[in-house]
Amino acid sequence: MARMIPSAERIAKARELIQKARELDVPSEGGRYNIAYIAEVKTLLRQARDLIKFISYTPTASAEMKQEVAQIFEECAQTDQELLRGKKD
Write the DSSP assignment of 48-79 as a string of letters: HHHHHTTGGGSTT--HHHHHHHHHHHHHHHHH
- The string of DSSP letters for 12-45 reads HHHHHHHHHHHHSPPPTTTGGG-HHHHHHHHHHH
| Per-residue confidence (pLDDT) for residue 2, from 0 to 100 | 67
CA gap 70, 67 in Å, rounded: 5
Report, in angstroms and rounded to the nearest whole number, the Rg of the chain calculated over CA atoms.
14
12 or 88, which is more confident?
12
Which pTM value belongs to this model? Answer: 0.87
User: What is the enclosing helix (H) or strand (E) of 10?
Assistant: helix 7-23
- pLDDT per position as a tens digit, 4-44: 888 999 999 999 999 999 999 989 998 889 999 999 999 99
Domain borders along the chain are 7-85
With a pLDDT cut of 90, the percent of the chain lying above it is 67
CA gap 77, 11 in Å, rounded: 16
